[in-house]
Amino acid sequence: MPERLCTILQKTGSIAILKTPGNRTASARELLEAFRRQMSTLTGKHDIKGVMVTGAEGVFCRCLPESSVSAQEAAALSSFGQQVMFALEKIGKPCIAVVEEECSGLGLEVALACDFIVASTTASFGFPDIAAGMIPFCGGSQRLARLVGKSKAKEMIYGGELFDAAEAYRIGLINRLYPEGETMTQAEKLLEHICTRSPHAIRIGGEVVNAGYDIDLATACMLERDAFALCFSSFDQREGMQAFLDKRQPLFKGE
């Protein structure tokens, strides 16, 4: 698969940058296949502490499904895409989507599967799929509704318009806004800070938030209790507590 589809660059020895193509030369299937391979590589790289997903050409992925597929082929593509997004969601490392320009369609589905989104003031977001008689197909409609609410998700999906960065921030779609030209630098600083924390606790914390989001509060709190207890069997917890007592920076191992 050509490198232009999805590349990994390592920054400061611990951060990987996953870049999506900004043009339409790659099909949705090709991009999803590339993401799956890259995530498999990242999962096994213990020297990579965090991941940034961004657009190779500013635009955050414009790939579309092929127009000639049958309903059965479309269902298979959707199932595969959803599996890839679940894999991204469960990558086990802090993962930030960094958006500088347009983030729409499949690109927005990828961004929604990341832990959270940061963006430039020049960014825009939306699901224009409706103009082609389609809806999101990689879980985007469900993640969007859980993030911004049902009515706002329906507005975005029904209308197909792009929302500017200020509106996306207002409705809670994105976490942070940065001035134009500073987004990648600021996002890298944010991720570097996060990567100074316990990888073990980050992994467990992410799993608890994801697993507990769609279930009743009492059951979710039981998951939190068990995950909290699990922290106390880890090297990172012992090291973090000792470092606090010693008034020094902890040396976490992710164990």
**pLDDT, tens only, 217-239:** 999 999 999 999 999 999 999 98
Contacts of 135 (CB under 8 A, 6+ apart): 127, 129, 141, 157
Question: What pLDDT is recorded for position 20?
Answer: 78
Q: Are residues 136 and 237 in the same domain?
A: no
Distance CA 138, CA 161 (A): 19
Residue 166 within a domain: yes
Residue 68 within a domain: yes
Q: List the domain range (segments joined by +) for residue 222.
A: 199-246
Q: Are residues 214 and 233 in the same domain?
A: yes
Question: What pLDDT is recorded for position 64?
Answer: 67
> What's the mean pLDDT in 127-131?
91
pLDDT tens digits, residue range 132-149?
Answer: 899 999 999 999 999 999
Higher-scoring residue by pLDDT: 201, 12: 201
Q: Are residues 108 and 187 in the same domain?
A: yes
> What's the mean pLDDT in 12-16?
82
The domain boundary, picked from 174, 194, 214, lies at 194
Q: Are residues 116 and 169 in the same domain?
A: yes
pLDDT tens digits, residue range 86-109?
Answer: 999 988 899 999 999 999 999 999
> What's the mean pLDDT in 202-214?
92
Residue 254 within a domain: no
Inform me whether the pLDDT recorded for 208 exceeds 80.
yes
How much is the pTM? 0.91
The domain boundary, picked from 194, 211, 228, lies at 194
Contacts of 190 (CB under 8 A, 6+ apart): 96, 118, 176
Higher-scoring residue by pLDDT: 61, 105: 105
Q: Are residues 206 and 222 in the same domain?
A: yes
Q: Are residues 19 and 52 in the same domain?
A: yes
Inform me whether the pLDDT recorded for 46 exceeds 90.
no
* Location of structure tokens 């729409």: 104
Residue 255 within a domain: no
Angle at 86 (CA atoms; ends 41, 201), nearest 5 degrees: 75
Q: Are residues 134 and 37 in the same domain?
A: yes
Domain count, the chain: 2
Q: Are residues 166 and 206 in the same domain?
A: no
Angle at 189 (CA atoms; ends 240, 139), nearest 5 degrees: 90
Name the helix (H) or strand (E) containing 229. Answer: helix 217-231
Inform me whether the pLDDT recorded for 66 exceeds 80.
no
Contacts of 119 (CB under 8 A, 6+ apart): 98, 99, 100, 103, 125, 165, 168, 169, 174, 176, 177, 178, 183
Question: Residue 241 is part of a domain; what is its CATH number?
Answer: 1.10.12.10
Question: What pLDDT is recorded for position 55?
Answer: 83
Question: What pLDDT is recorded for position 44?
Answer: 75
Helix (H, G, I), strand (E, B), or coil: what is residue 165?
A: helix
Inform me whether the pLDDT recorded for 24 exceeds 80.
no
Inform me whether the pLDDT recorded for 1 exceeds 60.
no
Contact 98, 52 (CB under 8 A): yes
Mean pLDDT rounded to a whole number for the chain: 88
The token pair that represents 26 in the structure block: 């790659």
Question: What pLDDT is recorded for position 7?
Answer: 62
CA 66 from centre of chain: 24
Q: Are residues 45 and 162 in the same domain?
A: yes
